[in-house]
Each structure stands twice: as structure tokens, then as C-alpha cells.
Chain A
Amino acid sequence: MKQAVLQLPKRFLVGRPLRTGQLGETLLPKKLALPVFCSDPLSSVAYATEEILLALSLGGLAMFALSWWVGAGVVFLLLVVTASYRQTCHAYPNGGGAYAVSRANLGENASLVAASALLIDYVMTVAVSVAAGVANVISAFPALSPHAVAISLALIAVLAVMNLRGVKESGTAFAIPTYGFVASVLLMLVVGLLRVATGHPPTAESAAFGVRAVHGTAGAAVVLLAMRAFAQGCTALTGVEAVSNGVPNFKPPKSRNAASTLTIMGLLAVVMFAGITVLARTARVHLAGDPAQLIGAPHGYAQKTVIAQLGAAVFGHGSILFFLVQAFTAAILVLAANTAFNGFPILASILGGDGYLPRQFARRGDRLVFSNGIVILSLLAGALIWAFGASTTRLIQLYIIGVFVSFTLSQGGMVRHWTGELRRLADPAGRRSVHHARAINLVGAVLTGLVLVIVLLTKFMHGAWIVVVTMPLVFLMMKGIQRHYRRVAAELEPGEEGVPLPSRIHAVVLVSRVHTPTLRALAFARATRPHTLTALSVATSPEEADRLEREWAERDIPVPLTILDSPYRDITGPVLDYVTRIRTRSPRDVVCVFIPEYVVGRWWEHLLHNHSALRLKARLLFRPGVMMTSVPWQLGSAEAALARHTEGAEFAARTRVRSGTP
């Protein structure tokens, strides 16, 4: 009954459990792989420009002119990283995530750094994407803004449940929002740029606002500001590694297809990002980190996302196309969060299999997905969103560090990989192409490393220190877990001669009163034929001991009954003492303690029974050379509970007949 009640909502939400045999590999063609793996990098276009503008707004209106340069820097970086990851696709056709690459080339510690960066990053991806998606929904429906956190948490819960059901990354579900987003953004860019060309440039609703500077704009301060804006804009690069992780899921030729998908993704991202940045500049979208900085904004003005402002400026506020752009943007952002739901559980399962995380992460749940990873991921992301009030800008400060740590490590690993190849290869043509690949990865590694430093420098005080502190903690945790598993494994390793046979077995049956469960335990203990057999009872009061003695004699039970004195009235102590004495007398022997136990059917009955037995069991567990045998006695309520299960009813009826109980 209890089970059924617990199972019902789970069945309803998660669905029927699947057999292991139903685990199928579906291979993706390029046109489906693009939405499945690239929703994350494509979606980050939706907020990258905005983050650049927000960072620049600190320096006042004039600083927005820098957005061109910052945007160009990000585009360049995006191209380099895409080119670098194309090499990884070719070199690691079995999936070359940062963890796998650095484990193969840079050793255990580097791979764990990459893994901890990635784990944190996946959590951030969920938090940032969902927060950004909700921000776009709110831009379309400003009335919802007080409920941002609640909506975000609900979305994460929906994503978690969907993933627990195991949406077989069905391409179409991903394809519609992704292609819809790409198409609508491109349409918006084309229409917008056409209007610029025809002399009717679109104007954002915030074009008239001024922005008050809160940051110095003299000399070095400008460079610092530009660097900070650049660091913010690097969010456009997140998720690029998803493709190289997923190479095994591509249709053959896998590496070729993955590399071309990566190229398409890179080009699309560059075009969309550059277009949005240009359009935002020409439409004079003005944003500020703090609404109080805006000069001339009406009272109670809620800032809208760049995409929302552009959509409204180009298509007109409230038009169908505007809502379409918003809807697709929100959809792809949520889908991007889903990318992390694919990545995190798989990475956690690999780490669990390698012994760096609890083994449970490597186990598949009812629906053949790594449920534990999914649950942990959604809990962590939910906690982050809650702690940061679902603010994209504040969350994004924590975001990019992990991405660039894993970028740098995996690119560095690739450089090592190619160097190794060079040592192996002899023919000049092959060597030339490897040299070429190594150069690309080297540039990638150096650049991403540089960006990592910039990101660290500019964001450290704005919240990035949280990640800087967390990453070593995760790293140490994984090392600690692995050390523990190794130590346990070494301890459990059987020796040369195995385990000696116990020379004798001393059976002890715990008795409190002479009743059927006791008699059954005694009968069972006698049937196991131990070397010695004693019934043990603790005299908490003389009257009870006396009664037990008398009943024992009357029933003529052929087992010696030992009654222990308990000067302090506890039951556990004297029994432990007695068992220990048998052990010290004959250390090679084994003591087997038979404990008669009631099995009850209702929860409150647990409160009334078995307490001393449970306590004793817990204590005896720590004694070496002591085995415990529970002799269960199913009370009427337990049988009734069994009968309440439809599948158990027949079984219960059969056992009742067999055991001869009425």
C-alpha cells in the first residue's frame, strides 16, 4: 500500500521503467545534430551582446561605441575556438570532452581540474540559460517580473522531469526551436539592416535614454572596461565543446560530420552575434546595470533584453513577429539548459565509473537515464537561481571561468596529443597536416588561456571568486572520494590463501519470552546445526526471569537457557559483553546471533516493536566475527499489508497455507 502510494506519482511523472535491452543508440544526421548539440552555443548569442552593453554602460553613453571592437574580439575568439575544436573532433572520434582529452594527454590532475570546471559549468549553464529564458519571457510580459525566480524553478523542475523520463534527444523537439530561433533572428537582422539601408533605421525604445557613468573613463579605465565587456561577451563561446563530446552520436563519417556541424554552428553564431551587435548599435539600444543609471527613463521603467528591444524596434512592439522572436528565444534558452542535462549526467557517470564521484552516478535509473546526475544537477541549478534571484547578469559572472578552464585544458591537451603524433609519424604529408593542426590548437590554447586570465582579472571581485573557491573544493572532493574507493578496494582484495574456515560456530538465540517467534527462531537455530547453541535472555527484573525459567522448564525446550544479569537494566550491554567473551575465549570461532523480529504492516507499529533488537543489531555490526540472523515473524498486519498488493495476495495466501497459520 505504502509502496503503491509512493510509486503512483513517480509512475505518472517519469513513466514506466524500461528494460536494459531497450537502450538504443540513435545516430544523428547533421541537420538534427546541429539543434541537439548546438542549442547551447547558438542560444548564448541571445544574451552575449546584452552582457557587453551592460558592462560598457558603466562608463556612460560614450562607451557604447566600443561595442564594435569588443564584438569583433569575441567573433575572432569564436572562430579560433571553433577551428580548434574541429581538430578535436578528428582526433577523438569516441568523444573528446575536456575531461577525456586532458586525461589522455595531461594526466589525472589536469583531467580532474577540467572535470570540476565542467561540472560547475553545467550547473551554471542550466542556471544562466533558464534565467535568461525567463528574462525574455518577462520582457514580453512585464507583469510576470515579480515571479522570475518561481518561473525559473518551475522550468528547471519541468526540464528535470522531462530528462528523467528520458526524452531521447528526439531531434524534432530540438529542431523546431533552434531553427526557429536562427530563422527569426536572421529575419530580424535582414529586415533591420534593410531598413538601415533604405534610410529608415529602427530605433530602440531606450534610444532616447542617457546613461550616467559610474566608472572612470580616463586612460587605463577604458581598457579595463573594454576588457570587462570582452569577458562578458565571451559567453557567446559557451557550449562549443558539446559537439566534440558528442562525436559518437553522429552518423558516419562521424568525425567529418561533427567537424562540419561545428563549422556551421560557428558561422551561424558569428553571423547572428555580429548582426545583433551591429543592429543594437545602430538602433541605439541603451542598457544599464542599474536602472537608476538611466537618464530620462519614465518612472518604473523595466529594462528589456536586447533581443526584445530589437524585435520591438524592427517588427513593432506587440506584432506577431516580435512575439515569435521572443518565444523562440525563450525556447532555445531553455533547450540550451537541456544541453547541460545531457552533459552533466554523462560526465558524472564517467567520473563515477572512474571512482571520482559516488558510484551511484554511474547507474542508470528506471528510464535508462542517469537519474542521480539529473536530480543533483537540477537541485544545484535551482539553488543557484534562488540564491541569485534569477538575475542573468549576476549569474553570468560565475559562468565563463569554468568554460575557459576546460577550453584551455582541452586545447593544451590537444597540443600534447599532436606532439605525440609527430613523434610517431614519418611521412611528410601526414606530418604537415599534424603541424597545421597543432598550430591551430596552440593558438586556441594560448588565446583561451589569455581570455581565462582576463576573465579572472575582470570578474574576480564581481562574484567569480565563488567559482575560484568552489573548483578546488570539487577537485579535492573528487580526489578524496577516489582515495577512499582505492583504500577500500585494497582492503577488500582477497589475500593469497583466501579466508580461513571458521573452526566452530557458536549460536546464540536471543529470547525475551517464550512465544511462537522465539520457538521458531530456536527451531531454526537448531536446524542450522551449530557447534554450541545457547538461548540468551537478559533479566531486567527478577520476576520476569523467574517466569521465563519456569516456562522454559515446562515446555521442556532442549536448549540451555542462559540468563544474564543486568545491573543497570539495559539489554544491549550484557549481550554484547557475553558475545565478546565467547570471542575472546576462542578467536577463530564465529558467533552467530539469532534475533527473532516482528514484521509489522503499519507505520505506527514500528514505534511499538523491535527497538531493542534494532539497537542490538546496530551495535553487534561493529563486532568482528559476529554474524547476525534475523528470524522474521510476520504479524497479522504485515500479512494484511502484503495481501493489499494485488501481486502479493496470492503469495500471501499460499504461504499461509504452507506455514499452517490460520
Chain B
Amino acid sequence: MEEVPAGTAQESAQGARGLRGFLRRLTSTKAELEAEELQKTTGEEGATPIRKCAARRRACVAGTLRTVTLRPRGGAPALEAELYDGSDMISLVWLGRRRIAGIEPGRLVRAEGLVSVQDGRKVMFNPRYELRGGA
């Protein structure tokens, strides 16, 4: 379940035909398989791979929600989720919300917003989001 560097996943996406591709499909780990599938959706949604998103630019990303964190009452209300699209991870933060129906782990989501970088992690605040399909 490690994140897979984009390069290898793309290579495997391209070389999925022939005997070599067959062998690779047999030997690849679950993580590689998942990354490959997710990258395919990125293309279908017409979104930018997260790895290619630069800071301080608007971007449209698509992938599944890896984690959803519920903050306890008391502090500033915020809902945080991590979106993974097979190339990288980005945190989506909705300030002022404690819960959004449909934002749950495993959900396929398309999000659009300004990408910023905090402590080397990509974050998107209050993104515009679309829930796509099932989990």
C-alpha cells in the first residue's frame, strides 16, 4: 500500500500488453495495481495528475479519498481528507465544516481549487468538489 512513484506506474500502464505486460500484471503488487487504475481515471476525468500540480496554481484533481479525519468539537471546525490519484497525495480541507455527506473514505472525488504547499505536503483549501460514482 505504499505510494508508487508516478514513473513506474505509468510505464506499467503503457506496457500492459504482450507477454511482458502479462508477467508484470501477475507480479505487480496491490499498490501498483491500484495506482495504475487510479491514473486511468485521472485521464478519463480530464484532471491533472497531483504530482504535476504546482503550488499557487488552480488545478483540477481526481482520485479516491484515502483518509477522512473528523475533528472533535471544540477546536476550529474543519474536515480534512486525503485524495490519492495514483501519482501523489493531496489534502483537501474544508474549513467551517465538520461533516459533508458523501465525503467518506474510498469515495471517488473530483476536486478543483488552489494548490498550496505546507510542510512539503500539497493542500487544497475549500475545494469545489464533485462526488463521482461509488466507492
Q: Are B70 and A567 in contact (CB under 8 A)?
A: no
Known contacts A539-B105, A542-B104, A556-B73; is A562 also within 8 Å of B1 by CB?
no
B72 within 8 A of A: yes
A223 within 8 A of B: no
Q: Are A564 and B70 in contact (CB under 8 A)?
A: no
Q: Are A557 and B72 in contact (CB under 8 A)?
A: yes
A574 to B67, CA, bound (A): 10
Cβ-closest chain A residue relative to B71: A560
Residue-wise, chain B 66-87 has the 8 Å CB interface mask toward A (1 for contact) of 1111111110000000000000
Q: Are B30 and A545 in contact (CB under 8 A)?
A: no
A560 to B106, CA, bound (A): 19
Residue-wise, chain A 535-573 has the 8 Å CB interface mask toward B (1 for contact) of 000010010011001001100111111111111100001
Shortest CB-to-CB span from A568 to chain B, Å, is 5
A108 within 8 A of B: no
A578 to B84, CA, bound (A): 13
Q: Which residues of A contact B1 (CB under 8 A)?
A: 573-574, 576-577
Q: Are A539 and B106 in contact (CB under 8 A)?
A: yes
A562 to B70, CA, bound (A): 6
A367 to B3, CA, bound (A): 56
Q: Which residues of A contact B44 (CB under 8 A)?
A: none
Q: Are A558 and B74 in contact (CB under 8 A)?
A: yes
CB interface residues, B 78-135, toward A, < 8 Å:
98-99, 104-106, 119-121, 135
Q: Which residues of A contact B9 (CB under 8 A)?
A: none
CB interface residues, A 559-604, toward B, < 8 Å:
559-568, 573-574, 576-578, 580, 585
Q: Which residues of B contact A552 (CB under 8 A)?
A: 70
Cβ-closest chain B residue relative to A539: B105
Q: Which residues of B contact A576 (CB under 8 A)?
A: 1
B6 within 8 A of A: no
A534 to B106, CA, bound (A): 19
Q: Are A563 and B72 in contact (CB under 8 A)?
A: no
Shortest CB-to-CB span from A178 to chain B, Å, is 70
A574 to B121, CA, bound (A): 19
B50 within 8 A of A: no
A213 to B114, CA, bound (A): 104
Q: Which residues of A contact B2 (CB under 8 A)?
A: 577, 580
Q: Which residues of B contact A546 (CB under 8 A)?
A: 104
Q: Which of B66, B70, B72, B119 contacts A549 (CB 8 A)?
A: B70
Q: Which residues of A contact B69 (CB under 8 A)?
A: 534, 560-563
Q: Are B64 and A567 in contact (CB under 8 A)?
A: yes
Q: Which residues of A contact B67 (CB under 8 A)?
A: 562-565, 578
Known contacts A542-B135, A546-B104, A567-B34; is A561 also within 8 Å of B70 by CB?
yes
A283 to B135, CA, bound (A): 98
CB interface residues, B 2-51, toward A, < 8 Å:
2, 30, 34
Q: Which of B64, B71, B99 contacts A565 (CB 8 A)?
A: B64
A574 to B105, CA, bound (A): 12
Q: Which residues of B contact A561 (CB under 8 A)?
A: 69-70
Q: Are B135 and A558 in contact (CB under 8 A)?
A: no
Instruction: Give how many A-B residue pairs fall within 8 Å (CB-CB).
Output: 68
Q: Which of B34, B72, B105 contacts A564 (CB 8 A)?
A: B105
Q: Which of A542, A556, A573 contacts B106 (CB 8 A)?
A: A542
Q: Which residues of B contact A566 (CB under 8 A)?
A: 105-106
Q: Which residues of B contact A574 (CB under 8 A)?
A: 1
Shortest CB-to-CB span from B15 to chain A, Å, is 23
Q: Are A565 and B72 in contact (CB under 8 A)?
A: no
Q: Are B104 and A545 in contact (CB under 8 A)?
A: yes
Q: Which residues of B contact A553 (CB under 8 A)?
A: 70, 98-99
Q: Which residues of A contact B61 (CB under 8 A)?
A: none
Cβ-closest chain B residue relative to A549: B70
Q: Are A565 and B106 in contact (CB under 8 A)?
A: yes
B62 within 8 A of A: no
A374 to B99, CA, bound (A): 67
Q: Which residues of A contact B71 (CB under 8 A)?
A: 560
A553 to B72, CA, bound (A): 8
A558 to B73, CA, bound (A): 7
Q: Which residues of B contact A580 (CB under 8 A)?
A: 2
A156 to B73, CA, bound (A): 71
A578 to B68, CA, bound (A): 12
B60 within 8 A of A: no
Shortest CB-to-CB span from B80 to chain A, Å, is 8
A547 to B70, CA, bound (A): 13
Q: Are B66 and A564 in contact (CB under 8 A)?
A: yes
Q: Are B68 and A568 in contact (CB under 8 A)?
A: no
A585 to B121, CA, bound (A): 9
Known contacts A565-B64, A565-B65, A567-B64; is A539 also within 8 Å of B72 by CB?
no
Cβ-closest chain B residue relative to A556: B73
A542 to B71, CA, bound (A): 19
Q: Which residues of B contact A563 (CB under 8 A)?
A: 67-70, 104-105
A539 to B120, CA, bound (A): 27
Q: Which residues of B contact A578 (CB under 8 A)?
A: 67
A566 to B64, CA, bound (A): 11
Cβ-closest chain A residue relative to B72: A558
Shortest CB-to-CB span from B13 to chain A, Å, is 17
Q: Which residues of A contact B119 (CB under 8 A)?
A: 585
Best-buried of A546, A556, A567, A574 by chain B (most CB within 10 Å): A567
Shortest CB-to-CB span from B86 to chain A, Å, is 12
Shortest CB-to-CB span from A591 to chain B, Å, is 15
A576 to B2, CA, bound (A): 9
- 14 A-B pairs with C-beta separation under 8 A: A545-B104, A558-B72, A558-B73, A560-B72, A562-B67, A563-B70, A565-B64, A565-B65, A566-B106, A568-B34, A573-B30, A577-B1, A578-B67, A585-B120
Apart from A553-B98, A574-B1, list 5 A-B contacts with CB within 8 A.
Answer: A542-B106, A552-B70, A563-B105, A565-B65, A578-B67
Interface residues of B (CB under 8 A from A): 1-2, 30, 34, 64-74, 98-99, 104-106, 119-121, 135
- The 5 A-B pairs with the shortest beta carbon distances in the complex, nearest first, are A565-B105, A577-B1, A565-B106, A573-B1, A562-B69
